[in-house]
A and B are shown apart, each in its own frame.
Chain A
Amino acid sequence: MTKAVAQPYQNRRVYQDVSAVAALELDTQLMLRVRDGDAASFGLLLDRHRNPVVHFLYRMVQNQAVAEELAQEVFLRVYRSRTTYEPTAKFTTWLFRIATHLALNWIRDGRNEKGVESLDAKAGDGLARQVTDRDPGVEHRLVKEARIEEIRRAIHSLPAKQRAAVLMHKYEEMEYTQIACVLRCSESAVKSLLFRAYQRLRERLAHMA
């Protein structure tokens, strides 16, 4: 059943796999240097992984400020654990495990409800938000914003674990095994999570496809 979930950009992934081995070694080497007290290597790791971590967290919590705050906590934890670091797993797996843990905790604590802002949200006086712009491209921009809002809502409607699996699979292009390591479940459980999540997304976004 879950075998049918399409693997996107398969050709691209083959090339990525080759460079992934080198990247794995580089990340591990950098982290081992950080362990030995090389602060510059931490800067390199930060530059390599800052954007993916922040983007993943942003799509998880759907709030830019919170995503950056959580990402800071992720890198702080990496820095704190530098002395005890052992290269037992892929660096990115470890990094995303911390990020997912923090995001799931944040969602579980129910702090996400007040953070997400919708375009349809009523203003203080009870009226719908009015966007005034005399730019000729404003209509196009509004349509695009409405589409993005719909995608955002569709992803937000997924259960937290399914959401994390989809974001890692679709946007971070991680393998099933790596997602399984991050979520601490079996590979078949990941496939099942993805199958159900994509099914739901297809249903919700069918009119946009």
Chain B
Amino acid sequence: MESQQDDRNTTEQFEAWALCVRQERLWPVLDEWEAPTVSSGFNRRLYARIEHEENAGWLPRLWRRADGKRWQQAFSLATACVVIVAMLLLHVQPAPPAHPKSRMDPVDIKQVERALDDLEMLQQLNPAVKAEMPVAEKSL
């Protein structure tokens, strides 16, 4: 049992050692790739940019400080929201207004009652009127 464990440890150590050797061989190969020297005008260009920024107005500086990209995203989002709300308002039909006759205010009820009374009275009078009318008029 112990010998098996020892064998496993030895194998693991050997593998780790082999990996290290291969890694050590890789190292000088990677060293061959040297980065080129930085151009001589680098500092001058950087200071010119800094000076340009310093002399810029307060709005560009505020824009940069507040991270222009985030503002742009927020602005796009707000615009999209406004467009969606506007479209919803345009497409949703307003509810039809309630029919004026359905409103039963007290004045109307009285008028209706009065009209019904008048009609009833007319109906009562109607046979008498018909009887008095001449035949020619009746045919009309």
0/1 string, A31-64, CB within 8 A of B gives 1: 0000000000001001000110011001100001
**Complexed CA–CA distance, A38 and B34 (Å):** 34
Is the CB–CB distance between B30 and A151 below 8 Å?
yes
Inter-chain contact A50/B30, CB cutoff 8 Å: no
A6 within 8 A of B: yes
The residues of B that contact A144 with a CB separation of less than 8 Å are 32
Q: Which residue of A4, A68, A80 contacts B64 across the interface (Cβ within 8 Å)?
A: A80
Interface of chain B residues 5 through 43 with chain A (CB within 8 A) = 15-16, 19-20, 22-27, 29-30, 32-33, 35-36, 38-39, 42-43
Query: B16 touching A4 by the CB < 8 A rule?
Result: yes
Instruction: Answer whether A209 and B29 are a contact pair too, CB < 8 Å, given A55-B35, A59-B35.
Output: yes
- How many angstroms from the CA of A36 to the CA of B45 in the assembled complex? 23
How far, in angstroms, from A64 to B41 measured CA to CA in the complex? Answer: 13
Asked if B77 is at the interface of the complex by the 8 Å CB criterion, the answer is no
A184 contacts across to B, CB distance below 8 A: none
- Judge whether A208 and B50 touch: CB under 8 Å: no
- Residue from B33, B36, B43, B64 in contact with A151 in the complex, judged by beta carbons closer than 8 Å: B33
Q: Do B35 and A72 touch (CB < 8 A)?
A: no
Does A116 sit at the interface, judged by CB under 8 A? no
Q: Which of A59, A75, A155 has the most CB of B within 10 A?
A: A75
Q: For the complex, is A3 an interface residue (Cβ under 8 Å from B)?
A: yes
| A72 in contact with B42 (CB, 8 Å) | yes
Cβ-closest chain A residue relative to B35: A55
Question: Which A residues are CB-close (under 8 A) to B22?
Answer: 202, 209
Name A64's contact: one of B19, B36, B53, B64 (CB within 8 Å): B36
B interface bracket (residues with beta carbon within 8 Å of A) = 20 to 34
Beta-carbon nearest neighbor of B28 in chain A: A209
B49, CB-defined interface residue at 8 Å: yes
Q: Which chain A residues border B125 with CB–CB below 8 Å?
A: none
Min CB distance A106 to B, Å, is 14
User: With an 8 A cutoff between CB atoms, is B110 at the interface?
Assistant: no
Q: How far is the CB of B16 from chain A (nearest CB, A)?
A: 4
A50 and B37 CA atoms in complex are apart in Å by 11
Contacting pair B36 A148 (CB below 8 A): no
Tell me which residues across on chain B come within 8 A of A8, comparing CB atoms.
24, 27
Interface string of B61-104 (1 = CB under 8 A from A): 00011000000000000000000000000000000000000000
- Complex Cα distance, B45 from A46, in Å, reads 13
Bound-complex Cα distance A46 to B38 (A): 12
Q: Nearest chain B CB to A66's CB is how many angstroms away?
A: 13
Q: Is the CB of B26 within 8 A of A205?
A: yes
**In this assembly, does A79 line the interface, its C-beta being within 8 Å of a C-beta of chain B?**
yes
The 4 A-B residue pairs with the shortest CB-CB distance in the complex, in nearest-first order: A55-B35, A209-B25, A6-B23, A4-B16
15 contacts between A and B (CB under 8 A): A4-B16, A54-B35, A58-B36, A68-B38, A68-B39, A72-B49, A75-B46, A151-B30, A151-B33, A170-B30, A171-B35, A198-B23, A202-B23, A205-B30, A209-B29
